[in-house]
Each structure stands twice: as structure tokens, then as C-alpha cells.
A and B are shown apart, each in its own frame.
Chain A
Amino acid sequence: MGKTILTVDDASTMRKMVSFTLKGAGHEVLEASDGAVALQVLQSRPVDLVITDIHMPNMDGIELTRRLRASPHFGRKPILLLTTESDPARKNEGRAAGATGWIVKPFNQEQLLAIVAKVLPNS
């Protein structure tokens, strides 16, 4: 069964790529251009998974993760971080903030689908 997934990235290329891949797998995909927009989207639409970039203007992915974990609505739903290999420190920050997993950019479509399948076992 398809799930609702929110992709958060300031680069539209990345959002489109994620969105296209996941839609192809039967999911519904919402998009947000940074953490602040993501929080607004989440106020009106519940989602099953958030995939967020770390480096974004206004509110970054770490802060978004922290806020979502603090929100009773979102609860323990999975959050995936898009990280880069040059930034292990940020990855650890994300872990501390409560992220579920990570994907290293650049990734291919198979990798994205594999990790999504891991965190959304019923899909």
C-alpha cells in the first residue's frame, strides 16, 4: 500500500528526483523547500515518512528532525537524512536529534527505494 512521504530539500532537482522515484513505487509525495515549510505542510497533512536534506536555508534538516521528534503528532515516524560523506559530524548530529537513518548523496534510485522499504516495511 502506498504511503505519504514528505521530501524536504532546497534544490528542486533533488526534490523532483526523490518525488519521481517514490511516486513510481506507488507512494504519494509532498514537497517542501526547507524545514520551516516542511513544518507548515505537516500541520495540514500527516505523513508516514520524512526525507530531508541537512543543509537548507531558514531551517536545516537537523533542526527539523529535532522539532518533529518533539512534536506529539509526528511521534516516532521515520525520518531519513540526506547527508554527504564530507560531513560526518553533521550526520552524528542528525543521529542525536533522532533521525532514523541516512542516505549519502548522490544516491541512485535503487538505494533510495531500498532504504524507504526498510523504514516503511508495510508499504
Chain B
Amino acid sequence: MPLNDNLQQQLIRDLLVESFDSLDRFDREMLVLEKGQAGAETLNVVFRIIHTIKGSSGCIGLTKIENVAHAGESLLSLLRDGKLTVTPPLISALLEYSDALKAMLRCLEQTGQQGSADYSALLQKINAFQPGAAPQPKAATGFGLFEEEPAAPPPAPAASAPSAKIEAAPKAGPSVSDTAIRVELTHLDKLMNLVGELVLARNQIVQHTAQTKEGTLLNAAQRLNIITTELQESVMKTRMQPIGNVWAKFPRIVRDLAQELDKKVQLIMEGNETELDRTIIEAIKDPLTHIVRNSVDHGIETPAARRAAGKPEQGVLILRAFHEGGQVNIEIMDDGRGIDVARVKEKALQRGLITPDQAARLTHHEAFALVFLPGFSTVEKVTNVSGRGVGMDVVKTNIEKIGGSVDILSEAGQGATLKIKIPLTLAIIPALVVTSGGERFAIPQVSLLELVRLEGAQARQGIESLYGAPVYRLRGQLLPLAYLNRELKLANAPSGAADDITNIVVLHADGRQFGLVVDEINDTEEIVVKPLGKQLKGLNCFAGATIMGDGKVALILDVVGLAQNAHVISEIRDRTLLEQAKAAEKADDRQTLLVFSASHDARLAIPLSMVARLEEFPRALIERSGHQEVVQYRGQILPLIDVAKYLPKSGAAPVLSDPVQVVVYSEQGRSIGLAVGKINDIVQQTLTVQRQAARDGVLGSAVIQDKVTDLLDVPGIIRAADPTFYQTAPAA
């Protein structure tokens, strides 16, 4: 009677679920053991875990898994019986062993096979810990009756001693398995979808019955309303999981990482039991892991550095989760070196993420926000620990995708704290329904701060224009405004209404506030979030869609995306906008200029239209051809001209930085590189050139960004350096 396939599959699935859970527990208990905080029960627990995996896999015929499990089981039984003592290498080997089991199980999960990986080295390592001899060889399988066996030696007193203890143990209550069952996630998802539909139907009925005078129908509708709400809450609860499920892996990650980097880190986790919808748990798993790795890798210093800074050698990493205001707060705190504001700014400048001007004006808090910009990483070398091409920008994007927000606080030398706020659930959310251009839109309540209604004269005069951008003075603060009609290119509301009344929905996105002007504000409602089809996924203004009480579809606004489109949130973008607006006032004769310096003090500018590209070459790449400095560039030889040499001597000797900043200038298919000291900025402005300042290599001077700046005579300099440049026909 062979096991039929169906049962076999089912047994394997059970084995996988149970074993992954219990191996995670195994890892955790190993760490407890390593710290020497384990009680007698710990060794029993880990033994049982392996014992169960071995037994179950053996029964289903997974002999390879069984054999690997067997090696650890005998080692663990020695540990349990006190014949071996715990040492760090032993723990490492057992963790490696647990990884091997997990790898085989994962392989089984994905391919249905146990995999072909060879674990004999690992098994040897495990066996080497067992004093005396190899582990007891596996006996032949079998069964029997005790009465048919020769009398066993009377049980040793030692063997009965523990049993006496068990008898004295408190009576065991009903175990969890009595009151809990495993349910397929797909069932829960389906249940949640159905409840979502029910909520929609409920909304429709409640809306219709609002007009009825029929008592019984009204009563029934009210009861339906209440029951649906309760059902919704109950079903939502079934999908809740404690955040501890995600955190369970962190002690192991932190331990391994700390060991790899020779650091000492103590991980403290608070609020393990804080519950979250499982879709959100899934979504934050990777970002949280990334942050934790980051903290250990970049935040916490080496023991020597910590000693030098007067801190205890062991760094502390605290994870804390708690509910607040209908949201879940997660804080990741470390007492490491913190974030160096100056270095962050310098990096952002180097990567061209901000201008020097902006850098000077950034507050500390704004500077921390720079680490979330795409393309930012403060660590020079990409380590295989945390630099995997996934930066903090991905962390931020992922968290914002689920309607959450991230914030960094840090004090140099004292450590850093990351604060994450995420909604409890994504499926059904409270939202404000507004109308604009005849269409209804839902705005998630979590982004909503307040509603402002301007009437009559206030509506006509309340909104001011600052450098072309509309703003409203809300209690003395300037609130940038975006018009929903304009952003979504909707038809304007019938005139007349719009002049008398202005509705401003004050929203926060990315930690900043802005006002969204809409035609009408309707009501708040519980809406069921339906994802947009993948054809519409690219629209960053919308987070999804929902079905309203009257059966019509309304789009859910993505507040962050909308704000970005309208250029109202980012301080940096905001200022660029203002500067652009300033320049736009004299749009007719403004120019875009590249501002740079040749040596440390001279400010120079050239029209951006003359620049083919900006490049950086490490000094080591610069070669010589005759008396000319050259560099290999895109398969050609690019002659380099040190601009400073062709300018009238200014005080100090010019020193080129390494890497050398190069402005590539192209004319008729030929290129030449102008080596400059530092590229500062790109500005747009009207140019009033003072010709009297003209001299060799300089066309004249102008005031750019409140500073006197010389305009470089590019053709003049090139002619001086290479008289043939403009004559020779392109090499082509």
C-alpha cells in the first residue's frame, strides 16, 4: 500500500510549514544557548525540533534530509545529556547545519526534489564535535514487543529521576494545537475579498435606504450595517500577524553580521506582539531587513572605535513596534556613530543631487532626508553586507508604496533612529471623497490634515502667488497649493461656484504639507481598495480605485505622487521651482550657465549649450601624448586643457582635484576636455555682461548667484592651447 501522491504532497507541505517555523525557532534558541542564558528546556526544545524533522522526513521517504538531520540529532542528544558543552564554534556549526536543512527544504518546496548539494563536509564538521567516535550508526528500522525481548537491564535510577520531576510539573493546560488550526492564506484572501464586496453592497444599501421611510427596511439596513462592520473587523483580525514573525530572523542576521564585521551588537526587540495585516508584513520584511543590516554595518562602530569614543564596546540596536493613532510605528534605534551631516551634504553635492547653494541652506533634518534620494550612498566601498545596489531610496519607496512614511533622526556620535509609520491594513481604508471636474476621487484619511473652506472675498483674495506658484497663508504659514483640476487636466467646474468658494484639502506627504484645491468636498467613507490594472500602474497620481455607494468607480489619489507631480512637496524641488519662477519673469533673455571654478577662488561660467558632457577622470587615467595631456574617452583620445593655465595668474597655484572634473566641449565632431577645479552649479538667469573686465581667456564678468563670475572664452582658450583645433577637418 504505497502512499498515494496526494497524501504525499500534503505530508510534504505540512513538513515544510512545520520545519521552516521550527528551524527559525532552532536558530533563536541557538543564540540563547550561545549567550549562556539557556535553561534545561532549551536543549530539549532544539533536540525535539531536529528529532521531529528527522522522523517526519524519514517517514515520507526523504532520506537525504533524514540523514543530514540524523547527524545533528546525535550531537544534540550529547549536548542535552551534558556530555558536551556549548562553544561558539559548536553553535556556528549547528547554525550552519540548520541552514543546510532549510536549503534542502526550500529546494524541496521549489522543485519537489531534495537537491543535489553535498553536505558531507558539514556532516564531518558536526561529527567532529562528538567525542570518542562517530555518531551511533543508524540502526536497522524495526519494531517489536517488549515482552518478546530479552529482559532489559532495570532502568537506571538516573533515567527515572527526570520523570519524577515531570510528575511534579504543573498540570499542562490545553496546548495551542487544541485551539488553533492552520488555514491556507488563499482562503483568507478570498474571505477578505468577499468582505470587501459585502462592504460595497452594504454602502449601496445604506445609501438607498437613507431616503426610505419604511421602518423595517431601515432597521434591517442598520443591522446589516453593524454586522458588516463587525464581520469586516473580525476577518481583518484573522489576517493579522505579530510583527515578531518578521523580527524572528533578525537575531540571527545581526549575530552573523556582527561576527563577520568583528563588532559587538546587542539586539533588543520590543513590541513583538504588535499586529499587522499580513500583506503589510510581507511588504516591510525586506525594507526592515535592509535597515537592520545597515545599522549594524554602517551605524554601529567597531569595539575599538567605540572604546575610543567612550562608549561601551557592545553596541545596542533596538527595534520597537507599537500602535498609535490607527497606525503602526516601528522604530529602529542604534547607538552607533550617527549620521554625519557634513559628509551627507558633501556626498549629495558630489553626486549632483543638490547644488552648493541648496547644501548651505539645508537644515539638519533636511540633510538626513538626502540619504533617501536615489543614487545616494555614504559608504565609499560597496560591501557585500549592505551595499547590494538597494539603497535607502528603495526602502523609502517600498514603505511609501503601502502608504507608510520613513523619517530619520540622528545626532553625530550618538546614533541614529529610523521611524517608520505604516497603516494597519491596506484592504479597507477610511477616505475622504471629493469631487473635481465632475469626477469623484477618494483621498486616504492618513494623509489628511484638515479642510479649509474659503468663501466670498476670502476665496478671491486668500490665494496669493509667490513667484508664480499659488500659496495660501494658513495661520501664518505658507501652504503651497495644487489644483486637482489642473493636475489631472479635468474640465473646470462651472464658473460662479468656483469664484465664491474654494475648498482646500490640507494634506501631508513626505513630511510636508500642501493644499489640494478641489471643487467639492463630499464625505468620509470606508472604501475598499482595488488595485489598478497594470496598464494604469504607471500613473503615479493614483493609488487604486474603489466602488462607491452608487456603484460608480472612483479613483483613489496617491497623495505623494500627486504632490511630486505638482512640485509642491520637496523643499529642494520647491526651491528650484522658485528659482525657475524667478528666472521665468524675464524669460526672454535668460541663459542657462554652467558655473565652475578653475582654481580655488576664481568663479567661472560658460553657457550650458557649449557643454557636450561633464565627466570625471581619475588622475591615474591621464596619459601624455607629446606635450599634450590626454585621456582615453569613448574609444578616442581626448586632449585635456587645464583651464587655469590659460587664465591670468590668480593668487594661488591651481591644483586639480582627483578625480579631475572635465567639461567636454565638442565642435564639428572633435572633442576637447577642459579640466576645471570644481563644478559648482547650473543656473538659469539673465546675463548682464560687463565687457570692461575682458582679458585673456575671459569674455567679461557678470553677477551670478550674487557673486561676480567671469565668463570663460572657450574658443579663445582652445585656440591658445591647440591652434589647429578649429582648422583641421574632423578625423571621422
> What CA separation (Å) do A87 and B80 show in the bound complex?
12
Contacts of B171 in A (CB 8 A): 36
> What CA separation (Å) do A15 and B167 show in the bound complex?
26
Asked whether A119 lies within 8 Å of B145 as measured between CB atoms, the reply is: yes
Asked whether A109 lies within 8 Å of B14 as measured between CB atoms, the reply is: no
Taking the closest CB of chain A, its distance from the CB of B8, in whole angstroms, is 10
Residues of B55-85 contacting chain A, CB below 8 A:
55-60, 66, 70, 73-74, 77
Contacts of A111 in B (CB 8 A): 141-143
Residue of A nearest to B74 (CB): A86
Residue of A nearest to B138 (CB): A85
In the complex, per-residue mask of A54-84: 1 if CB is within 8 Å of any chain B CB, else 0: 0111111011001000000000000010101
Contacts of B18 in A (CB 8 A): 11-13
Asked whether A60 lies within 8 Å of B55 as measured between CB atoms, the reply is: no
Asked whether B60 lies within 8 Å of A17 as measured between CB atoms, the reply is: yes
Q: Assess whether B360 is interfacial by the CB under 8 Å rule.
A: no
Q: Assess whether B155 is interfacial by the CB under 8 Å rule.
A: yes
Known: A37-B178, A93-B155. A16 touches B58 (CB 8 A): no
Asked whether B52 lies within 8 Å of A55 as measured between CB atoms, the reply is: yes
> What CA separation (Å) do A107 and B140 show in the bound complex?
10
Contacts of A59 in B (CB 8 A): 166, 172
Taking the closest CB of chain B, its distance from the CB of A123, in whole angstroms, is 16
Asked whether B136 lies within 8 Å of A85 as measured between CB atoms, the reply is: yes
Asked whether B146 lies within 8 Å of A100 as measured between CB atoms, the reply is: yes
Known: A60-B166, A85-B136, A93-B159. A21 touches B172 (CB 8 A): no
> What CA separation (Å) do A24 and B7 show in the bound complex?
12
Taking the closest CB of chain B, its distance from the CB of A115, in whole angstroms, is 4
Asked whether B1 lies within 8 Å of A16 as measured between CB atoms, the reply is: no
Residues of A8-25 contacting chain B, CB below 8 A:
10-14, 16-17, 20-21, 24
Q: Assess whether B326 is interfacial by the CB under 8 Å rule.
A: no
Asked whether A24 lies within 8 Å of B1 as measured between CB atoms, the reply is: yes
Q: Assess whether B116 is interfacial by the CB under 8 Å rule.
A: no
Asked whether A84 lies within 8 Å of B73 as measured between CB atoms, the reply is: yes
Asked whether B56 lies within 8 Å of A101 as measured between CB atoms, the reply is: no
Asked whether B145 lies within 8 Å of A40 as measured between CB atoms, the reply is: no
> What CA separation (Å) do A12 and B15 show in the bound complex?
8
Contacts of B561 in A (CB 8 A): none
Contact check: which of A11, A56, A109 meets B56 at CB < 8 Å? Answer: A11
Taking the closest CB of chain A, its distance from the CB of B260, in whole angstroms, is 34
Residue of A nearest to B81 (CB): A89
Asked whether B155 lies within 8 Å of A92 as measured between CB atoms, the reply is: yes
Q: Assess whether A104 is interfacial by the CB under 8 Å rule.
A: yes
Residue of A nearest to B151 (CB): A95
Contact check: which of B52, B153, B166 meets A10 at CB < 8 Å? Answer: B52
Asked whether A20 lies within 8 Å of B174 as measured between CB atoms, the reply is: no
Q: Assess whether B163 is interfacial by the CB under 8 Å rule.
A: yes
Asked whether B11 lies within 8 Å of A17 as measured between CB atoms, the reply is: yes
Interface centre among A21, A24, A55 (most CB of B within 10 A): A55
Q: Assess whether B177 is interfacial by the CB under 8 Å rule.
A: yes
> What CA separation (Å) do A109 and B166 show in the bound complex?
33
Taking the closest CB of chain B, its distance from the CB of A33, in whole angstroms, is 4
Asked whether A66 lies within 8 Å of B163 as measured between CB atoms, the reply is: yes
Taking the closest CB of chain B, its distance from the CB of A98, in whole angstroms, is 9
Contacts of A109 in B (CB 8 A): 1-3
Asked whether B163 lies within 8 Å of A86 as measured between CB atoms, the reply is: no
In the complex, per-residue mask of B19-55: 1 if CB is within 8 Å of any chain A CB, else 0: 0000000000000000000000000110110011011
Taking the closest CB of chain A, its distance from the CB of B700, in whole angstroms, is 85
> What CA separation (Å) do A85 and B175 show in the bound complex?
28
Taking the closest CB of chain A, its distance from the CB of B28, in whole angstroms, is 16
Contacts of A36 in B (CB 8 A): 171-175
Q: Assess whether B160 is interfacial by the CB under 8 Å rule.
A: yes
> What CA separation (Å) do A13 and B166 show in the bound complex?
26
Known: A87-B77, A104-B139, A104-B141. A16 touches B7 (CB 8 A): yes
Asked whether B172 lies within 8 Å of A102 as measured between CB atoms, the reply is: no
Contacts of A93 in B (CB 8 A): 155, 159-160, 163
Q: Assess whether A114 is interfacial by the CB under 8 Å rule.
A: yes
Asked whether B136 lies within 8 Å of A10 as measured between CB atoms, the reply is: no
Asked whether A92 lies within 8 Å of B58 as measured between CB atoms, the reply is: no
Asked whether B59 lies within 8 Å of A107 as measured between CB atoms, the reply is: yes
Contacts of B159 in A (CB 8 A): 89, 92-93, 96
Taking the closest CB of chain A, its distance from the CB of B26, in whole angstroms, is 14
Q: Assess whether B183 is interfacial by the CB under 8 Å rule.
A: no
Contact check: which of A40, A86, A95 meets B152 at CB < 8 Å? Answer: A95
Q: Assess whether A118 is interfacial by the CB under 8 Å rule.
A: yes
Contacts of A118 in B (CB 8 A): 145
Q: Assess whether A106 is interfacial by the CB under 8 Å rule.
A: yes
Known: A13-B60, A104-B141, A111-B142. A63 touches B55 (CB 8 A): no
> What CA separation (Å) do A56 and B49 show in the bound complex?
9
Known: A10-B48, A104-B141. A33 touches B175 (CB 8 A): yes
Q: Assess whether B10 is interfacial by the CB under 8 Å rule.
A: yes
Contacts of A99 in B (CB 8 A): 146
Asked whether B145 lies within 8 Å of A92 as measured between CB atoms, the reply is: no
Contacts of A55 in B (CB 8 A): 44, 47-48, 51-52
Q: Assess whether B135 is interfacial by the CB under 8 Å rule.
A: yes
Contacts of B52 in A (CB 8 A): 10-11, 14, 55
Asked whether A34 lies within 8 Å of B166 as measured between CB atoms, the reply is: no
Contact check: which of B14, B135, B156 meets A13 at CB < 8 Å? Answer: B14
Contacts of B10 in A (CB 8 A): 16
Asked whether A34 lies within 8 Å of B144 as measured between CB atoms, the reply is: no
> What CA separation (Å) do A118 and B145 show in the bound complex?
9
Contacts of B135 in A (CB 8 A): 86
Asked whether A40 lies within 8 Å of B174 as measured between CB atoms, the reply is: yes
> What CA separation (Å) do A51 and B641 show in the bound complex?
89
Contacts of B45 in A (CB 8 A): 57
Known: A17-B60, A105-B58. A86 touches B175 (CB 8 A): no
Residues of B109-150 contacting chain A, CB below 8 A:
135-136, 138-147
Contact check: which of B55, B143, B175 meets A115 at CB < 8 Å? Answer: B143
Residues of B152-197 contacting chain A, CB below 8 A:
152-156, 159-160, 163, 166-167, 171-175, 177-178
Q: Assess whether A47 is interfacial by the CB under 8 Å rule.
A: no
Asked whether B3 lies within 8 Å of A20 as measured between CB atoms, the reply is: yes
Known: A20-B7, A37-B177, A37-B178. A103 touches B47 (CB 8 A): no
What are 15 A-B interface contacts by the 8 Å CB criterion? A11-B18, A12-B18, A13-B59, A17-B11, A34-B177, A36-B173, A37-B177, A55-B44, A86-B70, A92-B153, A93-B160, A95-B152, A100-B147, A104-B139, A106-B57
Given contacts A14-B55, A106-B59, A113-B1, 9 further A-B contacts (CB under 8 A): A14-B56, A16-B14, A36-B171, A36-B173, A66-B167, A84-B55, A92-B152, A101-B146, A106-B55
